[in-house]
Structure 1
Amino acid sequence: MPSRCCVPECKSNYDSSLKKNEQPESTFLFPKDPKLRELWLQFIHRKNFVIGKSAVVCAKHFYSDDIERVREWVDKEGNKHVEKLTNPKLKPSAVPRIFPHQPKYLTTPQTVERTDPENRRMTINKRHEEVLSEIEQSDMIECFDSLKDSFQIKLSLSNWNYREGSTGLHFFTLNVDTPENADL
Structure 2
Amino acid sequence: MGYIHIIGGEKRGRKIVVPGGCGVRPIQGVARKALFEILRDKLPESIVYDIFAGSGSLGLEALSRGARRAYFFESNPRVCQVLRRNITLCGYEDRARVVRWDFWQARKLPQDLERPDVVFLDPPFAYDISQVMEKLYNFRVVIGDALVVIRCSRKEWREEGVSFFEVQDVRRYGKSVLVFGRLKG
For the criterion TM > 0.5, the same-fold answer is: no
Query: Structure 1 or 2: larger strand share?
Result: 2
Interval containing the TM-score (normalised by the shorter chain): under 0.3
Query: Structure 1 or 2: larger helix share?
Result: 1
User: Normalization by structure 2: what TM-score?
Assistant: 0.21
In our comparison, the structure showing a higher alpha carbon Rg is: 1
User: Normalization by structure 1: what TM-score?
Assistant: 0.21
